[in-house]
Chain A
Amino acid sequence: MPFETDSAAGAAAAGTGAAPALEPFRASQSLTLGVELELQLVSLSDFDLVPASPDMLDLLARAPFPGNVTPEITQSMIEINSSVHTGHGELLAQLREIRDTLVRAGDRLNVGVCGGGTHPFQQWSQRRIYAKPRFREVSQLYGYLAKQFTVFGQHVHIGCRSGDEALYLLHALNRYVPHFIALSASSPFSQGSDTSFQSARLNSVFAFPLSGRAPFLLRWDAFAEDYFNRMAGTGIVRSMKDFYWDLRPKPEYGTIELRVCDTPLSVERAAALACYLQALCRYLLEGNEPAPREDDYLVYNYNRFQACRFGLDGTLVHPQRHEQLPLREDILTTLRRLEPHAAALGSGAALDLLYRESHTGSDATFLRQAFEADGSREAIVDAALRRFRAGE
């Protein structure tokens, strides 16, 4: 979910009536990474979403939390984020610690915690907006879209040395966005029905006016002045948080943020996806591919749709060569190409997990199997809860 609390700069500017300026890009160590996960809070009595985030946050506040935990727009969601890491081992260890803490707290409150991009049968109209001014504002602006946006994503941040590096990476990654959609897809059901999509979640994101892709600008100064300031001047945006792009720069953290992933069913997959992005960024920064062009985006929405609809069985159109590529094959080829980078970053195990998943199927496949095996929608949630708790 993209509704973050407002930035200090934006709020201050709003107070004075002046158009807010984009804050300078804070350089950070290249290729560091951090993960945010939006998680579902489920009643263990009936497996429906439950407005339990105030109670969970209250209980979690009693002891130090490994990482960070915050409320999200509806009370049936919770967001966690890791610290900044350099490698797979430490990221995974922290995510596991966070998971165990959440599961323990949930057990005391009859609340199940799980991943998955959507809840299979929750009704959006029953969701409840978290009592926070920003969330209420958003709810008033977007109406039912805000409650319909009870979907759960994983965001991955990658550290960049400069704004220019961030924009280069952001656009160079455009051709790989479908990989992340297909590998993380875990939202085949929505509002009680099979959507026939592998990731139905991203369709909810498209309803928002400032979603999609970032404008094709490769220099930070140009981005700040030619784009952001003009947009701010229209009064539509106050900070970067108002853009719900698939990939967006995050100047205050000195990162780019990938936002297309469904929350996977396990923290192991979440860590693996983050490390895949990290290795890919290392590969791209070494100049192994032709520079991105604006025309790359001609096929962007189509490729994105293929990944959402068919997942690993989708077909891509290469943005520059315009050849058709089976998505699964393209992922496997990329994984092989990234092996030396993964070795240098110490994330071989992460890529191995994705390699296996490319063969066995995504979380969406797993959830459909759970439904077929048992025939009930509750069984899908039950399977997701078990996978989150047990891992892998």
Chain B
Amino acid sequence: MTDPYVSLAQLAWPLALVLSWMAGEILFRWTGLPRISIYGLAGFAFGNLAKGFAAPTDDNAFLLLANLGFGLILFELGYRINLRWLRANPWIVATSLAESSLTFVAVVLVAQAFRMPALAASLLAALAMASSPAGLVRVFNEQQAGGQVTERALHLSALNCVLAVFAYNAIVGIGVFQTSGNLGHAAAASLLVLGASALLGSVAGMLVPRWLRGMGRAGSSGGDATMTFALAVLLLVAVTHVLHLSPVLAALSFGLVARHRRSALGVAQRNFGALGDLLSVMLFVYAASTLDWQHVWAGLGLGTLLVIVRLTVKVGVCAAFARVSGISVRKGALSGLALAPMGVFAVLLIEQTRRLGVDLFHSLAPLAAIALLLQLAGPLISQRAVIAANETPYDKEA
């Protein structure tokens, strides 16, 4: 006879996913709220309710699945980045460097003013630099957004994620060095991880287009290329997961390299179709379910302040660089606003670190609050930004 509690625990996750998805569909239809915000809310509620009898966060498989979903989104982001634009309009890079570094400085200063230790403040600041590509890509696809705010937010997000991953790993490396005093260990924890991850992604970015060309599928329907890319991303994420590398960098560089060698490829389907949709429900529900209500509560005050500081810096810098980079100040400010999402990126990076034996949620209570706030409100802010910029179809707004 099976223990009913065990059965219940086995059903808990599938049920949570189905209910989250249904809630997302209903509320999207009724209120227009981004689906991923609802998934986040459901995931947070479920994660806290289920504590004690179903402990999904301990399950490595869920982290892997979430990383797969995130990997697909990062690949798609990389695939939509045009590096030549950054050369043609260097102000985009300047905007990114300024908004990322100023976000870092501002968050460190505020966190330290609240007596947070330097290392913890720096880690928090590194995470705050990034705008979660998961939030942006899903919201923009959902809204069928297109225009300068959309384009710039995507490019700025890709850049600030890379900068954030570098900063984060460098700081983790310093932390490891301070604790262990072992320089080799510290370097392995940071730079080697980054280099190896980017290299793996780049190799995939070169091999997969070659495979597609060899199979003569490039000219046929985009579906074939989509399938190939999806499988390659799955493999890449699994390899980085096993090797304890950064799936973020690997998937992003895979997309980037594939896009720039794409002259022989078809368009990958937006969102990777139903597969992408399924994995993104898992991703957003899972990410929010890792957040602990007590941590959120403890860090709510400082967390809210940091959210405001972070967004103010991003909006301010993007607005300041807007005219010189070719758009109006209003559109610049809106592209800064669109950079709001952060939750999933931070959560996955932290989970990654936890696998290295460092649990940051305990030392970074405000982070849980920030992650939750931005996982719920971030996509909504991005959505409102592209609507305000008239970058969504008008018949959708009517």
Contacts and interface: CB of A to CB of B under 8 A. Distances in A.
A356 B218 CA distance: 33
A48 interface: yes
Contact of B147 (A51, A59, A192): A51
A353 interface: no
Contacts of A105: 326
Interface size bracket, B side: 35 or more
Contacts of A97: none
B19 interface: no
A378 interface: yes
B312 interface: no
Contact of A109 (B80, B219, B326, B391): B326
Interface string B200-221: 0000000000000100101101
B328 A54 contact: no
A58 B264 CA distance: 34
Contacts, number: 90
Interface residues of A, number: 32
A109 B391 CA distance: 14
B128 interface: no
Of A46, A50, A55, A121, most buried by chain B (CB within 10 Å of CB) is A55
A376 B326 contact: no
B327 A58 contact: yes
Given A51-B391, A110-B85, A131-B394, A375 B264 contact: yes
Given A376-B266, A378-B263, A131 B390 contact: yes
Of B146, B264, B327, most buried by chain A (CB within 10 Å of CB) is B146
A392 interface: no
A288 interface: no
B32 interface: no
Interface string B380-398: 0000000000110111000
Contacts of A382: 263
A44 B327 CA distance: 17
A359 interface: no
Given A54-B390, A376-B219, A44 B82 contact: yes
Interface in B63-92: 79-82, 84-85, 88-89
B263 A379 contact: yes
A62 to B, nearest CB: 9
Interface string A91-114: 000000000000001011110000
Given A129-B395, A376-B219, A378-B262, A121 B267 contact: yes
A234 interface: no
A249 B155 CA distance: 48
A58 B325 CA distance: 13
A44 B218 contact: no
B327 A55 contact: yes
B348 interface: no
A159 B259 CA distance: 48
A109 B264 contact: no
Of B85, B144, B221, B331, most buried by chain A (CB within 10 Å of CB) is B85
Given A51-B391, A59-B327, A378 B265 contact: yes
A48 B268 CA distance: 12
Contacts of B267: 46-48, 121, 377-378
Given A109-B148, A376-B265, A44 B390 contact: no
A126 interface: yes
Contacts of A371: 219
A374 interface: yes
A219 interface: no
B264 A374 contact: yes
A43 B148 CA distance: 11
B390 A110 contact: no
Nearest to A49: B146
B395 A376 contact: no
Contacts of A44: 82, 84-85
Interface string B86-112: 001100000000000000000000000
The 6 closest A-B pairs by CB, nearest first: A108-B326, A110-B85, A107-B88, A375-B219, A51-B146, A375-B218
Interface of A: 43-48, 50-52, 54-55, 58-59, 105, 107-110, 121, 126, 128-129, 131, 192, 371, 374-379, 382
Given A45-B80, A110-B88, 6 more contacts: A45-B81, A46-B79, A50-B147, A110-B89, A128-B393, A129-B395
